[in-house]
Amino acid sequence: MEADVVSVVAAALDVIVRSKARVRETGRLLSETRYRVATSRRQLNPAFALAGASEDSLGEHRPVRAGGAILAKLVESNGDHIILGGGTKVYLQPTLRCDFSPGTPLQIVYTESDGKRIAVRIERSKLTW
């Protein structure tokens, strides 16, 4: 009978040890998943930093910071850039298109790189002027 008690206790202790190891592993995986989700959000939405996201340490990747916003009417749309009223030229990221027709009032959020304005987001403006 004493041997049965010893084997039950040994089995229970073994289960506890394995459970603790699994809890630690699950915690590690959860931490990695949270990091990956935060990184993916910033990579998929370059304006995420503008929307009030926190800046955790993300290694080499940093969210794109907005350099400014422009409200203007579209004059011309080319493949890699657009021209706005007043002759303002804004370059487009390879993944961004401007399908609006000339004369459409736009709101453009941009960043600056090497002295060029690069659009992060283009929307039809709800303001009219």
- Going by CATH, does the domain composed of 68-124 fall within 2.40.50.50? yes
**What is the model's pLDDT at position 105?**
93
**What is the model's pLDDT at position 45?**
63
Q: Please tell me which residue, 37 or 110, carries the higher pLDDT value.
A: 110
Q: How confident is the model over 104-115, as pLDDT tens digits?
A: 999 998 888 888
Strands (E), 7-115: 68-77, 81-84, 89-92, 105-113
- Characterise 115 by phi-psi region: left (phi > 0), alpha (psi -120 to 50), beta (else): left
Q: How confident is the model over 67-104, as pLDDT tens digits?
A: 788 999 999 998 899 999 989 999 998 888 899 999 99
Please state, for a pLDDT cut of 70, what percent of the chain lies above it. Answer: 77
Q: Domain locations in the chain? A: 2-49, 68-124
